[in-house]
Amino acid sequence: MASVSEMYDVGWEEMRDKLRKWREDNFRNSEQIVDVGEELICEHASKLGDDVWIIYEQVMIAALDCRRDDLALTCLQELRKQFPDSHRVKRLTGMRLEALERYEEANKHYDAILQEDPTNTAARKRKISILKAQGKSAEAIRELNEYLEHLCHYCCWKCQFILALFLETLCANILLYNFHSYGKAAFCLEELMMTNPHNHLYCEQYAEVKYTQGGLENLELSRKYFAQALRLNNRNMRALFGLYMSASHIAASPKVSAKVKKDNVKYAAWAASQINRAYKLAGRGTKENKCSVKAVEEMLESMQITMS
């Protein structure tokens, strides 16, 4: 099989830079990381300088995703040699055990870290991930709640993590409309928005949760946050569609005043024109996309009928 450098005509520096970009963007394209990283480590390790250690870590985690225990072990052993007492490496040892589904042993490693360093968030996150992997979502959420209560301030990953857990639990729940869970997801997003006011993604996700919770008040809140997300990033298509949908539903509601109805018809009309424009821009030139443009136009028109 051809090497990565042969197939894509790249040198080792480009491969190293690519790995860095994937690290920074937090991509989980594990197959590609293994392909590029393995070659880089095997043939150019000496050229990487101190970068080699973080690359070993990145490749090891990707190797676990791809069931390449041979590669994962190689990386782990190099890291253990270099950093014998490190908690960070201990965590990686735990992750390998998790990948092999040896959860009891993994937990022992994490407990050992937490004994020496009770504030180690990475170890706590892994313990909760184990509960999640075992399908014990309710327990995982309980642990997270407890942990949150003991902290002085919220930090980003926890909120994102709880959010993801709650949203996932929603899918798996016996009761679909578990308002309790949507409420918690909304709470997490509120915290995230407070600490990251310029992040359009949090605004937009918050709006989606509110929309899903339903009811007129939530719909109006959802519309406001879709609009806010658009102000922060006017190319966020989800926010644009969301604005259209929420405004349309509000306008169609029998409970609103004539003024509110009129305003929302205006918002929806604006959103519709922006959506059409975005599709026309995207569809320029290709035959297939012209079909999409037409479908969107028709869809928007069909919703107009239900509004009036």
Return residues touching other proteins (CB under 8 A). Answer: 28, 31, 65, 133, 135, 164, 167-168, 170-176, 205, 207-209, 211-212, 214, 222, 237-238, 241-242, 245-246, 278-279, 281-283, 288-289, 291-292, 294-296, 298-299, 302-303
Q: How far is the CB of 285 from other proteins (least distance, A)?
A: 10
Residue 4 · residue 10 · CB < 8 Å: yes
Taking the complex as a whole, how short is the minimal distance between the CB of residue 111 and other proteins, in angstroms? 24
Shortest CB 240 distance to other proteins, Å? 10
Question: In whole angstroms, what is the distance from residue 87 CA to residue 103 CA?
Answer: 18
Cβ of residue 234: shortest distance to other proteins, in angstroms?
Answer: 14
What is the spatial distance between Cα 163 and Cα 172, in angstroms, rounded to a whole number? Answer: 14
SS3 of residue 297 by DSSP: helix
Report, in Å, the least distance between residue 281 CB and other proteins. Answer: 8
DSSP string, 93-112: HHHHHHHTT-HHHHHHHHHH
Biggest alpha carbon–alpha carbon distance for the chain: 72
For 166, other C-beta atoms within 10 Å of its C-beta total 24
DSSP-assigned states of every residue in 143-158: HHHHHHHT-SS--HHH
Identity of the residue, 122 or 133, whose beta carbon is nearer to other proteins in the bound complex: 133
19, 36 contact by CB (below 8 A) = yes
| Closest to other proteins by CB, 93 or 212 | 212
CA-to-CA distance for 27 and 21, rounded, in angstroms? 9
- For other proteins, which is the closer residue by CB, 110 or 206? 206
Whole-angstrom Cα distance, residue 275 to residue 269?
10
Q: Which is nearer to other proteins, 3 or 292 (CB)?
A: 292
Tell me how far, at minimum, the Cβ of 169 lies from other proteins, in Å.
Answer: 9
Between residues 17 and 31, which has the closer beta carbon with respect to other proteins?
31
Our CB check for other proteins shows the closer of 107 and 246 to be 246
The sign of the torsion formed by the CA atoms of 5, 11, 12, 17 equals negative
